[in-house]
Structure 1
Amino acid sequence: MTIEQAQGAMKKIFGFDLFRPMQADIIQTIFDKKDSLVLMPTGGGKSICYQLPAILMEGSCVVVSPLISLMKDQVEALRANGVRAAFLNSTVDRREQRQIEDDLFNGRIDLVYVSPEKLVSSDFIRLMRNSPINLIAIDEAHCISAWGHDFRPEYTQLKFLKKEFPGV
């Protein structure tokens, strides 16, 4: 995948003609399978830096998000643009959860948003091991330090991802 192809896809999916500063470099880093830490102000275009590669790369992206309302907003916006996206949290009933998990297992979903608590559960880790995961994004990671380490202690457990999924 080239940046030019990504820019064309961005126009088609999101309606944006040009990348904002740093977005193309960040997206290329993700295409190159390198880890990235993206610090931008609110509204700076961070989400598209992982959403676009997730859509364009083979497989599914797991996004760790701290708040149900953020998950819902992101997924609604993505679906409005024709992107296969879902979230798994306490608001999802059992039947829908099974369908989303099946879609993840079979690579029929581009992005799935989960809470840190869901991500560290043994059942979800097992699902991820057996699913075509192309990317793991930790959204709103600044919440760890901004809201204190007691806010969501599961965020401190996410370091296992690097060892558990070395090619992602």
Structure 2
Amino acid sequence: MEIREPREVLREHWGYPEFRPLQEDIIRSVLAGHDTLALMPTGGGKSICFQVPALCQKGICLVVSPLIALMKDQVHQLQQRHIPAAAIFSGMDYRDIDRVLD
């Protein structure tokens, strides 16, 4: 399986030249297929730690979040970067869920 270089993905989609501390180690662990737990403070850059690996290789990245507002915000931010993303959350109409799953 072809894996893109994480720094290349970061520069292309986010415009950052380098990762924040810990991010690159976490991303490389994920890409190596290791179970990875990242405990970082709010604003520490956790989202990039699953978003970049999802773009480095083919497939689907499933993220489970308890906060609808956070899901909507992250989907919006990814779509602004022309990255396909969608969210399914409580209260959605079944037709909308079907569209997301297609």
> Does TM-score exceed 0.5, indicating one fold?
yes
Counterpart of 1:43? 43
Gaps of 5+ in 1: 103-168
The equivalent of 2:60 in structure 1 is 60
Q: Indicate the SS of the match to 1:86.
A: coil
1:19-63 deviation line (CA, Å, top 9, x unaligned): 111111111101111011101111111110001101222110110
Q: Which amino acid aligns with 1:37?
A: L
The residue that corresponds to 2:12 in the other structure is 12
**Equivalent in the alignment of 1:78:** 78
Paired residues of 2:9 and 2:55 also in contact (CA < 8 A): no
Give unmatched runs, 5+ long, in structure 2: none
Aligned-residue identity in percent: 45
- Once superposed, what is the RMSD of the aligned Cα atoms? 1.2
Query: Partner letter of residue 9 of structure 1?
Result: V
Between the aligned partners of 2:97 and 2:46, the Cα distance in structure 1 is: 27
Letter in 2 for 1:74: Q
SS at match of 1:18: coil
Greater C-alpha Rg: 1
User: Normalized per residue, which structure has more strand?
Assistant: 1
SS class of match (1:62)? coil
The AA in structure 2 aligned to 1:55 is: L
How high is the TM-score relative to the length of structure 1? 0.57
The number of residue pairs the alignment matches comes to: 100
